[in-house]
Amino acid sequence: MALYSKRQLVPTRQILDAALAGKYAVGAYNVNNMELLQAIVEAGNELRAPLILQVSAGARKYANQEYLIKLVEAALNSSDIPISLHLDHGEDFEICKACVDGGFSSVMIDGSKHSFEDNIALTKKVVEYAHERGVSVEAELGKLAGVEDNISVSEKDAIYTNPDEAAEFIERSGCDSLAVAIGTSHGAFKFKGEPKLDFERLAEIKAAVGKDFPLVLHGASSVPAELVKICNDNGAVIPGTMGVPEYMFTEATKLGVAKINVDTDLRLAFTGAIRKHFAENPGHFDPRQYLTPARAAVKEIVKHKIQVFGTNGHA
- Verify binding: residue 106, Ca ion, rule CB under 5 A: no
Tell me which residue has its CB nearest to Zn ion: 218
Options 42, 73, 88, 110; binder of Ca ion; rule CB under 5 A:
110
Q: What's the CA gap between 315 and 296, in Å, rounded?
A: 22
Q: Which is nearer to Ca ion, 46 or 91 (CB)?
A: 91
Shortest Å distance, C-beta 88 to ligand TD4 = 5
Residue 88 makes contact with Ca ion by CB under 5 A: no
In the complex, the smallest distance separating the C-beta of residue 78 from Ca ion, rounded to whole angstroms, is 33
Helix then strand count (H, E) for the chain reads 13, 8
Q: Is 230 helix (H, G, I), strand (E, B) or coil?
A: helix
Q: Quick check: 218 binds Zn ion (CB under 5 A)?
A: yes
Q: Which residue is nearest to Ca ion (CB)?
A: 112
Min separation Cβ 15 and ligand TD4, Å: 17
Scan residues 131-160 and list those touching Ca ion (CB under 5 A).
140
Q: How many residues bind Zn ion (CB under 5 A)?
A: 1
C-alpha count within 13 angstroms, C-beta hemisphere, residue 125: 15
How far, in Å, CA of 139 to CA of 205, rounded? 15
Q: Cβ of residue 100: shortest distance to Ca ion, in angstroms?
A: 20
Residues 155, 159, 163: CA angle, nearest 5 degrees: 110
Q: Which long-range contacts (CB under 8 A, 24 or more apart) does 196-201 make?
A: 196/149, 197/244, 197/248, 197/252, 198/156, 198/160, 199/251, 199/252, 199/255, 201/156, 201/160, 201/161, 201/163
Q: Does 264 participate in binding Ca ion (rule CB under 5 A)?
A: no
Neighbour count for residue 125 (Cβ, 10 Å): 17
Catalytic residue, candidates 17, 80, 88, 92: 88
Longest dimension (CA), the chain: 60
Partner interacting with residue 65 (select from Zn ion, Ca ion, ligand TD4, none; CB below 5-8 Å by kind): none
Binding site for ligand TD4 (CB under 6 A): 30, 56-59, 88-89, 186-187, 218-221, 261-264
112 binds, among ligand TD4, Ca ion, Zn ion, none (CB under 5 to 8 A by kind): Ca ion
Whether residue 88 lies in the annotated active site: yes
* Residues 6+ away with beta carbon under 8 Å from 16: 26, 176, 177, 214, 258, 259
Write out the residues near Ca ion by the rule CB under 5 A. Answer: 110, 112, 140
Write out the residues near Zn ion by the rule CB under 5 A. Answer: 218
- Which residues participate in catalysis according to the annotation? 88
